[in-house]
Amino acid sequence: MTELTTRNGTRVTRFAFGTMQFGGKADERASHDMFGACRAAGINHFDTAVGYTGGASETLLGPMIRADRDALFIATKVGFEGGAGRANILAQFDQSRRQRGEDAVDLLYMHRFDDATPLQETFETLAELQQSGAIRYIGVSNYAAWQVMKAQAVARALGTKIDAIQPMYNLVKRQAEVEIFPMAADQGITIFPYSPLGGGLLTGKYAKGALGRLAEDNRYNARYAQGWMHDCAAHLAELAATIGQDPATLAVAWAARHAAQPRPIISARSTEQLAPSLAALDFVMDDALADRITALSITPAPATDRVEEA
């Protein structure tokens, strides 16, 4: 697996913090406070995107990272809108640089797969940015395993490679276990999964009538609409209560425990909301507890669907 490091050679931490809420649900004060809480906990990896909260995520993050930049690992994304063509990648990367107030970034992701643009064009552009020193590592987000392998072949022919992948992964969204995780392990690609709390579902707050993404965003509502997912969240909360832990702590610790060594991207709207996820950094989950939590969910079938051989 690629060992990603900060500019001063420090290894990237086990968890990353996602700044998707900066400038949105988290105002400037809350954003600063959460950044400080993550640094105090030892986190050095911060994840953003050119379009998060209309650019405010990067605009707020830029000044926060300036004083200790070489000790931090900053990842951003381009291409969620406008495709993966050269012109759009370069335009959005320039916009990202202006928003962050810096010329380079550690890791640049293609935010999603674009089947209308040749992979050669996309990865030639990324390779040029890497060769110029504008980016250090190349990543892909929301790609299927077969899409990564096609892209990896192109990247290697250009003398580079895909270093990181960012898939969705949590207790009720486990499709990544089927092909993405094995593929990443085989290719030496570091996994930075997002949504370890399932849009807040796995905190147990929705069962208590609290509001959040599932109530406010139709995409999240559809993503976690199945009844068994809500049952799983309720059972996780019950289990957490019996052992005196927060369900969010268990959810994040479970997502980090897979043999493929994923490094979850945690996020929140406030330091209070963030605390249980940070607690997962120090929580030791033994095999018995991991098995109990896994049993609450539906394990996806293997890629070949020959379950008798799994």
Tell me which of 3.40.50.620, 3.40.50.300, 3.40.50.970, 3.20.20.100 is the CATH number of domain 1-166: 3.20.20.100
- pLDDT mean across residues, the chain: 95
- What tens digit of pLDDT does each residue of 128-151 get? 999 999 999 999 999 999 999 999
SS3 sequence, the chain? CCCCECCCCCECCCCEEECCCECCCECHHHHHHHHHHHHHCCCCEEECCCCHHHHHHHHHHHHHHHCCHHHCEEEEEECCCCCCCHHHHHHHHHHHHHHHCCCCEEEEEECCCCCCCCHHHHHHHHHHHHHCCCEEEEEEECCCHHHHHHHHHHHHHCCCCCCEEECECECCECHHHCCHHHHHHHHCCEECCECCCCCCHHHCCHHHCCCCHHHHCHHHHHHCCCHHHHHHHHHHHHHHHHHCCCHHHHHHHHHCCCCCCCCCEECCCCHHHHHHHHHCCCCCCCHHHHHHHHCCCCCCCCCCCCHHHC
Which of 52, 109, 137, 194 is labelled catalytic? 52
Domains of the chain, by residue range, sit at: 1-166
Tens of pLDDT, residue by residue over 39-51, are: 999 999 999 999 9
| Residue 52 bears catalytic tag | yes
Q: What is the pTM of this model?
A: 0.95
Q: What is the pLDDT of residue 216?
A: 74
